[in-house]
Amino acid sequence: MTEITAHHGLFKDTNLHVDDTGGTGRPVVLIHGWPLSGEAFQAQVPALQEAGYRVITYDRRGFGRSDKPLTGYTYDTMTKDLHTLLGQLDLTDVTLVGFSMGGGEVARYFSLYGAERLRSVVFASAVPPFMMQGDDNPEGPLTKDKAAKMTADLTKDEDEFYDGFTREFFSVDGELKVSEQQRQDAIALCKQSDKKAALACMEAFGSTDFRADLTKVNVPALVLHGDGDATVPFEGSGQRIHESLPGSELHVIAGAPHGCNVSHPEEWNETLIRFLAN
């Protein structure tokens, strides 16, 4: 457990909470989804460590145990935070695993910093190429009306919003695919987030276009997604990522919701570890 300074501010630095298993194995950086924290990967860290990898998780600015500044919730800034983390820990030959919102930082990384530090990437239940549906993006899985309702509901009542959000996050066709305790654990992580950060990041992952970023991905890639994902539906996201990345691997977990790393951890971990061995 440590902290890295992602941004040196005139009045206050922005520090990110980092958990690093250490060791001499190849580094795997797990980038969490919205509005959770690095603790969302509790089912992954031991398996990856046992397989011989150095595993790093961190809490995105505004979430979990990291600082919660007023600003900086664009993908350019959040990807700079990731790049700063890689630099401060002197990580090379890295596999970036971006879950949900975290897939945005993975895609944007190539546009801003290239692949010098990277070995491979994973888009897990990830939001690229472009969530917001529009005339030039008819396949986008997020309508403007739904986005507006999410913003209004979170603004009005955080407790009620996160209760409903986590039910969808872990359900397929209305059936919860995790235990109630696992859902409550996720709600607890949601509530560690800063409300202004959660709202700003909701806007970011909903409205950021990653189509040009994906054209710059030039390392091996795995797309990992649940076919019952109601939060970031596979057809509008994972399938399109795979189609945008010639040569990418695709693994679809049958009967799995958005939070498939929790609902189907064995298959999720085995698929990732198999990809890492390449």
* Residue 181 backbone phi and psi in degrees, to 5: -65, -40
- Both tokens of 97, joined, read 């695993």
- Both tokens of 133, joined, read 């549906």
d(CA 135, CA 137): 6
d(CA 9, CA 125): 33
Q: Is 93 a catalytic residue?
A: no
What's the one-letter identity of residue 182? Answer: Q
d(CA 265, CA 42): 10
CA angle 56–62–67, rounded 5-degree value? 75
Q: List residues bridging with 130 in a β-sheet.
A: 209
Q: Is the dihedral of CA 240, 243, 244, 247 positive or negative?
A: positive
Assess contact for 40 and 186: CB atoms under 8 A.
yes
Q: Which one from 100, 125, 171, 193 is the annotated catalytic residue?
A: 100
Say whether the peptide bond before residue 246 is cis (omega within 30 degrees of 0). no
Q: Which one from 229, 237, 263, 264 is the annotated catalytic residue?
A: 229
d(CA 259, CA 228): 10
Q: Is 209 a catalytic residue?
A: no
> How many residues comprise the chain?
278
Residue 131 CB partners (closer than 8 Å, separation 6+):
140, 141, 142, 205, 206, 207, 208, 232, 236, 237
Q: Is the dihedral of CA 14, 185, 123, 151 positive or negative?
A: negative
Assess contact for 49 and 21: CB atoms under 8 A.
yes
Q: Is 32 a catalytic residue?
A: no
User: So which residues are the catalytic ones?
Assistant: 100, 229, 258
